[in-house]
Amino acid sequence: MNQTDAQPTKIERQLKEESRIGTLMDHGAGAGLLNPYAQTKVGSDTIFAWWGRYQDAVASGIDAVNGTIGALLEDDGNLAINAVVDKAVRQAPPVEIAAYAPLKGLPAFLDLAKTLALGDRRGDLEAMGISTTATASAGGSGALYLAATNFANRGDHVLLRDRHWGPYKGFLSGCDLKTTTYPLLPTGDSPYPFVDIEGFKQQLAGLCATQDKVMMWVNDPAHNPTGLSLTADGRMAMLEAVMESASVHENVGHTLLLDAAYHLYAEEPHGWSETLYEAMSNGWPWPENLLITFALSLSKSHTIYGLRTGALVSIHPDSEVTQRIDTVMGVTGRQTWSAAPRVSQYTVSELHASDESGAAWAQERDRLQSLLSERRQALNNSCQDLGVPLNPTHDGFFAWLEHDDPAQIAEACAQQNVFLVPLTGGVRIGLCAIPLAQIPRVAEALAHALK
């Protein structure tokens, strides 16, 4: 039986039922119990829905390809786990597993978070007068929430690239925030091939004209969903644009959030701190109304997805500003998830405090990074041979095919038992989950779908 003749899958039946429920909600079911915002929450997460379709295919005995999930898998299909971290977690003292962490996080972990964000330039930046603060969060998503609920006025627009991780909108809308976007890539000739600086400047200026706070979310390096990373020149051009805007609009607070969820798998994991150090070395004044903040996730870098540990690291030249942020974020965490898990904070802090175990973690991280690099190169080569126009992709977990009808492309690939994720503007290809030997099947499925 081919797929067009098959009965609806379990996930398709589930989505149909959820759609029916959503229709009922539109007609008032539950209106007396749920507030208006809650009633907008219908349907299923797109990524997990397509992962469910892959699982259904496998359960029915089909040799399927999983390009859906955003977790790193070994070539045998098992979850990739950094053995150094796993061993450290299992050896943690019982009290470090069972006890609460301090509301803002374990001090050793907060110190580590600053280093994970800024890398080797941390000491140089602090010597230049930069003050830093960090707050432990419930994963990288928690760090994004801390920023969303504190750095923008309710009802305002947050500036994003037009290709971005879908849940961003959920975090923002939950804080009564809207989005304004600029193109992922420039059109025509540009000295910055991987960022539309002119589009960014135009949208930033428009927001500054109507809001007294502007927050920008930039997922770089290793952008989700494209796997794109800015060049050093592109980072400098964006930083220069933000600093210039803050200087011109002195009464508008500027927050540049760098979503660093995948940065430790990138070729330049701390490129932004290098760029910032270069700018300050050249005498750039830091506007008082500019905050730079990093959203960190230990899920990917330390393969502890389920322990839900991350951090928001903020930097500013005025220590009074960072101290105030430290208080606000601690209170926000307390009022949201109470305290982030202790055992993961303790484990990674102890691990990185030792040169030996830190080096062992890095060696295993490098092995996992090489899996991604091999798969990316294989996909680029296969797509080039078959004329599949992939977007530029450099780092991280994903690759991207831009398309006006991503659902049609994903469905055509699913007919060939290759499961990818259709998102706004294109199809996300989860290199993190696809074994190297199955990469040619992905390129062939995409080539067939495009025909």
Question: Residue 61: how many CB atoms within 10 A of its CB?
Answer: 7
How confident is residue 18, by pLDDT bands cut at 50, 70 and 90? very low
Q: Does the structure show a pLDDT above 60 at 15?
A: no
Q: Does the structure show a pLDDT above 70 at 14?
A: no
- Single out the residue in 335, 353, 371 at which a domain terminates: 353
Q: Does the structure show a pLDDT above 60 at 171?
A: yes
- Whole-number Å distance between alpha carbons of 298 and 165: 17
- Whole-number Å distance between alpha carbons of 109 and 99: 15
- Whole-number Å distance between alpha carbons of 414 and 427: 12
Q: Does the structure show a pLDDT above 90 at 281?
A: yes
Q: What is the pLDDT of residues 125-158, one digit of tens each?
A: 999 999 999 999 999 999 999 999 999 999 999 9
C-alpha dihedral, 120 to 124 to 125 to 127, nearest 10°: 140
Q: What is the pLDDT of residues 288-302, one digit of tens each?
A: 999 999 999 999 999
Instruction: Give the pLDDT confidence score for residue 189 in this predicted structure.
Output: 87
- Name the one residue in this structure whose structure tokens are 């290199």: 431
Is residue 377 in some structural domain?
yes
Instruction: Give the pLDDT confidence score for residue 45 in this predicted structure.
Output: 81
Is residue 28 in some structural domain?
no
Domain count, the chain: 2
How many residues are present in the chain?
451
Q: What is the pLDDT of residues 85-106, one digit of tens each?
A: 999 999 999 999 999 999 999 9
Instruction: Read off the pLDDT of each residue in 24-47 and give the average, rounded to a whole number.
Output: 74
374 and 343 assigned to the same domain: no
Contact 234, 192 (CB under 8 A): yes
Instruction: Read off the pLDDT of each residue in 12-18 and give the average, rounded to a whole number.
Output: 45
403 and 325 assigned to the same domain: no
Is residue 11 in some structural domain?
no
- Whole-number Å distance between alpha carbons of 135 and 340: 9
- Whole-number Å distance between alpha carbons of 40 and 357: 47
Is residue 17 in some structural domain?
no
- Name the one residue in this structure whose structure tokens are 């039946």: 13
Q: What is the pLDDT of residues 333-365, one digit of tens each?
A: 999 999 999 999 999 999 999 999 999 999 999
Instruction: Give the pLDDT confidence score for residue 134 in this predicted structure.
Output: 98
Question: Cα-flanking dihedrals φ and ψ of residue 157, to 5°?
Answer: -100, 140
301 and 419 assigned to the same domain: no
435 and 302 assigned to the same domain: no
Is residue 33 in some structural domain?
no
367 and 221 assigned to the same domain: no
Structure tokens at 284: 């750039």
Instruction: Give the pLDDT confidence score for residue 303 in this predicted structure.
Output: 97
Is residue 121 in some structural domain?
yes
Contact 427, 421 (CB under 8 A): yes
- Whole-number Å distance between alpha carbons of 225 and 295: 17
What mean pLDDT value characterizes the chain? 93
C-alpha dihedral, 136 to 141 to 142 to 143, nearest 10°: 60
Output DSSP code: residue 356: H
Instruction: Read off the pLDDT of each residue in 16-34 and give the average, rounded to a whole number.
Output: 57
Listed residue (299, 323, 301) closest to 372, CA to CA: 301
347 and 257 assigned to the same domain: yes
Where are any strands of DSSP class E within 104-241?
Answer: 131-137, 157-161, 178-182, 213-219
Instruction: Give the pLDDT confidence score for residue 31 in this predicted structure.
Output: 76
141 and 202 assigned to the same domain: yes
Instruction: Give the pLDDT confidence score for residue 162 in this predicted structure.
Output: 96
Is residue 37 in some structural domain?
no
- Single out the residue in 353, 378, 410 at which a domain terminates: 353
168 and 239 assigned to the same domain: yes
Q: What is the pLDDT of residues 44-71, one digit of tens each?
A: 688 989 999 999 999 999 999 999 999 9
207 and 292 assigned to the same domain: yes
Instruction: Read off the pLDDT of each residue in 309-324 and give the average, rounded to a whole number.
Output: 98
Instruction: Give the pLDDT confidence score for residue 38 in this predicted structure.
Output: 84
Contact 215, 152 (CB under 8 A): yes
Q: Does the structure show a pLDDT above 90 at 5?
A: no
Q: What is the pLDDT of residues 382-424, one digit of tens each?
A: 999 999 999 999 999 999 999 999 999 999 999 999 999 999 9
The residues that bridge with 293 in the sheet, in sequence order, are 257, 314
Q: By percentage, how much of the chain surpasses pLDDT 70? A: 93
52 and 110 assigned to the same domain: no
- Single out the residue in 294, 323, 353 at which a domain terminates: 353
Q: Which residue range(s) make up the domain with 370?
A: 45-81+361-450
CATH code of the domain in which 405 resides: 3.90.1150.10
Instruction: Give the pLDDT confidence score for residue 21 in this predicted structure.
Output: 42
Structure tokens at 321: 């500003």
Kindly report the CA angle at 188 between 184 and 191, in degrees rounded to 5? Answer: 80
> Who has greater pLDDT, 188 or 276?
276
Listed residue (201, 156, 193, 195) closest to 178, CA to CA: 156
C-alpha dihedral, 374 to 377 to 378 to 383, nearest 10°: 160
Where are any strands of DSSP class E within 101-189?
Answer: 131-137, 157-161, 178-182
349 and 409 assigned to the same domain: no
441 and 342 assigned to the same domain: no
- Whole-number Å distance between alpha carbons of 4 and 15: 18
Q: What is the pLDDT of residues 65-89, one digit of tens each?
A: 999 999 999 999 999 999 999 999 9
- Whole-number Å distance between alpha carbons of 374 and 322: 41
CA-based torsion, 177, 71, 381, 383: positive or negative: negative
Q: Does the structure show a pLDDT above 80 at 163?
A: yes
* Secondary structure (3-state) at 86: helix
- Whole-number Å distance between alpha carbons of 159 and 182: 8
Is residue 278 in some structural domain?
yes
Q: Does the structure show a pLDDT above 70 at 2?
A: no
CATH code of the domain in which 338 resides: 3.40.640.10
How confident is residue 6, by pLDDT bands cut at 50, 70 and 90? very low
